[in-house]
Structure 1
């Protein structure tokens, strides 16, 4: 059996007045990740309902691709403390159409 795809998904919160700056600080990382080998998608976005929440979604071809990216990702310096964090890594056994 081949490598299983990986999803890293969840959210974290920061002070509402700092949220947009935090999201913007990830712009370069997002662009680089989307061009990285094995990255199928990556998004770090402001939540439209909760002014303190930032949503995180990553989709990788394999854990190896994710690990290789993590080794060179060079994330932005933390510009605001995370108040709450709920992010999990999911290793896919199967997937298919959503409907």
Structure 2
């Protein structure tokens, strides 16, 4: 995935290209893509209201797992950065 991101970053299309124009058009009207989801929620509101506890529990568990994963990734990144900084400081300066 990171490799794909690097390739796309290096091969950025021109601002006049059809890809940029199409994506700008989609991004300008992105809010319209949420209308079907909202209609589905309203349509199934009786079912959702009957099962609100498992839905809320699932949302809270997913939120907590995401928060823990983000904190773990951040902590690992800081440890790696500190280790690399210490290695760089321990090395004699190249002349």
Q: TM-score, normalized by length of structure 1?
A: 0.22
Higher helix share: 2
Higher-RCO chain (CA-CA 8 Å, sequence separation at least 6): 1
The structure whose Rg is larger is 2
Higher strand share: 1
